[in-house]
A and B are shown apart, each in its own frame.
Chain A
Amino acid sequence: MVRLITHNILTCAAKACVDSGKNYPLKFSNVQGIDIREQEFNADFIRNFFSKVDYGVLKETLLSLGDDSLKVDSVEDINTQPEEFIRLLHKVLLEMDITQGEMVCTNCQHSYQINEGIPNMLLGAHEI
């Protein structure tokens, strides 16, 4: 289970990528399973958390998964947004689970396999 909230903060762990600062974002590829799991909606949490979200990356990732529900290009102030938008964010951030596929680092091309819902973030000793 990789929700987009997790994907949005996950970076590549390889030393070369961390040092060069090009360790973010990871790109989904070969996605074979997406689950929708309902979660309790909490508007305050989404509003608080939104400052930490890279909205551009979120939108791009959604598009790469074939979902174009996020229409807005950028959000200036989350507190002035209507509830509909918050609910939409809740849905894409917390309810979409990638269960099968891989995440690829754009810098080192390392592919983190997501197998039965658990991404394997382990690296070989030479990469750390």
Chain B
Amino acid sequence: MSRPEHIAPPEIFYGDDEASKYTSNTRVQQIQADMTYRALELMGFGEDEPPKFLLDIGCGSGLSGEILDEEGHYWVGCDISPSMLSIALDRDLEGDLLLSDIGAGVHFRPGSFDGAISISVLQWLCNADSNTANPGSRLLKFFNSLYASLSRGSRAVFQFYPESDDQVSFIMGFAQRAGFSGGLVVDFPNSRKAKKFYLCLFAGVSNKEVQMPAAKTDNGTVVNEGRQSIKHRQPRKNVKHSAKEYINHKKELQRKKGKEGVPHNSKYTGRRRKGAI
């Protein structure tokens, strides 16, 4: 399948035609709605908490904003495609809409938002659409300004379609440089179609205990890609504790590799020397 971000920059690709096609397609609507619900779930808000003030990054025609309205949240959306925004305007959503380029940063007072969600947007930032645009510096600028706009302890959840593993680490590298912690949640990793990537970022520390949310899979097991903390790393198994065992082990390895002149094992191997003369 061709990737729309390779065809043209977003504000041109989503012109009037494409924007209305995209919005009226019921399959797209369904997928977007599902992903928005899932992103909200990943935000980890409690059941009885009051509504939140959220930023919808790349809100487009407001398919995700509609869900935010339903859930009772207040939100501000921004997008770079005027055609998408004018459709959103006709759809009578509660949130405010801004025409802005997130690659130039999101400009709000520090700590304004309780969270940010973004559905199918981040991959657009990885392309250089003009000869002055540098994807790396745009991503960094975006993440830096987003980090500032979020209140401490809040989360940003990005659903996106990465092209390759390199692109994932490229994006995550900039998020980490901006100060975010967190990682990638991959839903249905074994399915080709249902597989979805959610980048789940935490801004600063919260007084609640933060745990990476679990991914959804077909058979109920949990897969969590992301940075492994040192605590969870398996201890090494092949560590030899006595000097003799260690030396014999090393020699064995050398012999297996076919090295010549590896000393023979004898009763003197690894034996303690007598004290100085």
Which residues of A line the B interface, CB within 8 A? 1-3, 5-6, 8-13, 18, 23-24, 39-40, 42, 44-45, 48-49, 52, 54, 94, 116-123, 125, 128
Complex CA distance for A4 and B249, rounded to whole angstroms: 72
Range for the number of chain B residues in contact with chain A: 20 to 34
Evaluate whether A122 and B99 lie within 8 angstroms (CB atoms) in the complex, with A6-B76, A48-B50 already known: yes
Contact B74 A121 (CB under 8 A): no
Q: Which residue of A lies closest to B48 (CB)?
A: A44
Total A-B pairs, Cβ < 8 A: 80
Q: Smallest CB–CB gap between A38 and chain B, Å?
A: 10
B107 and A12: CB pair below 8 A? yes
Bound complex: CA A120 to CA B104 (Å): 13
- Judging by beta carbons under 8 Å apart, are A121 and B78 in contact? yes
Question: Interface on B for A, CB 8 Å cutoff?
Answer: 50-51, 53, 72, 74, 76, 78, 80, 82, 85-86, 89, 94, 96-101, 104-105, 107-109, 111-112, 130, 132, 151
Question: Is the contact region of chain A dominated by helix, strand, or loop, or is it mixed?
Answer: loop
26 contacts between A and B (CB under 8 A): A1-B96, A5-B74, A5-B96, A6-B98, A8-B109, A9-B108, A9-B109, A9-B112, A11-B108, A13-B100, A13-B104, A13-B105, A23-B107, A42-B50, A44-B51, A45-B53, A52-B111, A52-B112, A94-B74, A118-B86, A118-B99, A120-B99, A122-B99, A122-B101, A123-B104, A128-B104
